[in-house]
A = this chain, B = another copy of it.
Amino acid sequence: MAMRDPVQGKVGRKDDMRFLLKQMMQIRAFEDKVFELLARDILKGASHVYAGQEAVAVGAMQAITDKDLITSTHRGHGHCLARGGTLKLMLAELCGKETGYCRGRGGSMHIADVNAGNLGATGIVAGNIPVATGAALACKMRNQGQVVLCFFGDGASNNGTFHESLNMAGVWKLPIVYIIENNLYGMSVSVKRACAVQDIATRSSAYAMDGVIVDGQRVLDVQATVAEAVKHAREGKGPMVVEAKTYRYRGHSRSDPRVYRTKEEEAYWHDHDPIKLFRELLAAQKVMTEAEMDAVEAEVDQEMAEAEKFTLDESAYPPAEAVFEDVYAGWIQGKYGLEPIQK
């Protein structure tokens, strides 16, 4: 098995391009709002924001169909949105409101929409790699042509579950694409200091899998490269690894002073901003005018404002009495312990 070359994405129909642009802008706007609400202490808890990495989720998700499945990470807002999530239900979830995707039980780190094929974010780094692999096993056994996209970070690739899962997928030739979002850091620890190899996709060889490295800032390249990997998986040729080189703009948490990296490095990546690059491409290829693109941004701002209003003004917290609901399917806490729910 060897390292493949990434596939270069070509500009497509205007509608499609507008959709990609809009999704990236939605994610960016969402994350900006999240940061603001965190600062205002309206949003509780921890939120790991996706700003900077938008092209990965948005590009990758274009490569699959509705019936396919994904698993996400602690940095899951981008995946959720790109998989078809709405700003409203996402923000409501982050704010712990009953109207959110998980009825406020999960929050940022557990945002999920299982019925729509997003098997969820996880607070455990690398925690979803086995889960995704099992989902791919189900896909294979059910034999309806589904594939799984499993997202995770560079840091996650040093966890044991990465190894066990990729080996399992390799042996069983499961229809899954592992998408490593290598943003150069796991929290404060750089890939250089945490990971014995710098190109994580090369690890695919340990599982007799193909690997490919793609520029994670270019949404069309991500789309095309993942599409090829998905095709490979869907055709029964087995799993693949796609490593997208990318960058997160924000600190790991709101209080993170980012001492572990330089201003120059940050500037370099802001220069390679996925939205900026895509706008430049669309303008250069005359797919959309600046004005048209600004209009998309304005539309997104509007939607974001509505989502904020929905969340803060129109959504309630779950009632305290609901605390025991939905731990078990069919059972609920009673006076003496768990009792079957009477139907």
Report which A residues bind B (CB closer than 8 A): 158-164, 166-167, 170-171, 193-197, 202-203, 205-209
Contacts and interface: CB of A to CB of B under 8 A. Distances in A.
Copies in the complex: 2
**Binding site of A, secondary structure by majority: helix, strand, loop or mixed?**
helix
Contacts of A163: 158-160, 162-164
Given A166-B196, A170-B196, 12 more contacts: A160-B160, A160-B161, A160-B164, A163-B163, A167-B196, A171-B193, A171-B194, A171-B195, A196-B209, A197-B205, A202-B206, A206-B206
A187 to B, nearest CB: 16
Contact of A160 (B159, B171, B207, B208): B159
Nearest to A162: B163
A209 B197 CA distance: 10
Contact of A164 (B159, B170, B208, B209): B159
Contacts of A203: 206
B208 A197 contact: yes
B196 A171 contact: yes
Contact of A202 (B161, B166, B194, B205): B205
A230 to B, nearest CB: 20
A212 to B, nearest CB: 16
14 contacts: A158-B163, A158-B167, A159-B160, A159-B163, A163-B163, A170-B196, A170-B197, A171-B195, A171-B196, A196-B207, A196-B208, A202-B205, A202-B206, A205-B206
Contacts of A170: 196-197
Which of A159, A164, A197, A209 has the most chain B CB within a 10 Å cutoff?
Answer: A197
Contacts of A195: 167, 171
A231 B202 CA distance: 27
A194 B159 CA distance: 19
